[in-house]
Homo-oligomer: A and B are copies of this chain.
Amino acid sequence: KSGEMAKSTQLIDNDVFRAYATYATIVLLKMMSMSLITAYFRLTRKAFVNPEDVASFGKDENAKKYLRTDQDVERVRRGHLNDLENIVPFLGIGLLYALSGPELSTALLHFRIFTGARITHTFAYLIPLPQPGRGLSWAVGYAVTISMAYKVLKTALYL
């Protein structure tokens, strides 16, 4: 199996890169789950945005009442957008960080803390937990990304 992979690239044989691949995939799957949670709340709360989405509920007036915003749906959507705002920097900076030759143990520490922080952030947003639960989990993920950015710029800076 290792030989087959080596045919295409050596990157995936590197432990730091494998760790990045693992945690980046986990955190993206977590982000993708927000779409399913949004769909779940839209269906159970009957709260939709597009007229074509409520067409199956019947003719005009009856169906139109389901074109509305719902607090739970909006909450999940805010969590989803916050994921995008924070996971996109992690993906980009994390990839460059993984290629900048960090120690494996240091890299694992960064990836694990970021992933844990974002999963905590989602629970803090959806339950919701009292503040500063959500704020702190956001700040931890943010700080980890800044730390990786510092290492990337220190290693690769070419302006």
Contact A12 B130 (CB under 8 A): no
Q: Are A21 and B152 in contact (CB under 8 A)?
A: yes
Chain B nearest CB, measured from A26 CB (Å)? 8
A28: contacting residue among B28, B93, B155, CB under 8 A: B93
At the interface, yes or no: A87 with Cβ under 8 Å from chain B?
A: yes
Contact with B along A9-37 (1 / 0, CB 8 A): 11110111111011011001101101100
Beta-carbon contact of B88 and A84 below 8 Å:
yes
| In the assembled complex, A134 has its CB within 8 A of some CB on chain B | yes
What B residues does A85 contact at CB under 8 A? Answer: 31-32, 34-35, 80, 84
CB distance from A157 to the nearest CB of B (A): 5
| A18 CB contacts on chain B under 8 angstroms | 156-158
- CB interface residues, A 116-159, toward B, < 8 Å: 128-131, 134, 138, 142, 145-146, 149, 152-153, 155-159
Asked whether, in the complex, the Cβ of B158 is within 8 Å of the Cβ of A28, the reply is: no
Please tell me if the beta carbons of B155 and A5 are within 8 angstroms of each other in the complex: yes
Say yes or no: B101 contacts A52, CB within 8 Å. Answer: no
CB within 8 Å for A14 and B21 given contacts A53-B131, A145-B32: no
Give chain B residues whose Cβ lies under 8 Å from the Cβ of A78: 49-50
Minimum CB–CB distance from A58 to chain B (whole Å) comes to 14
A25 touches B56 (CB 8 A): no
Task: Tell me how far the C-beta of A133 lies from the nearest C-beta in chain B, rounded to whole angstroms.
Answer: 8
Nearest opposing residue in chain B for A77, CB measure: B81
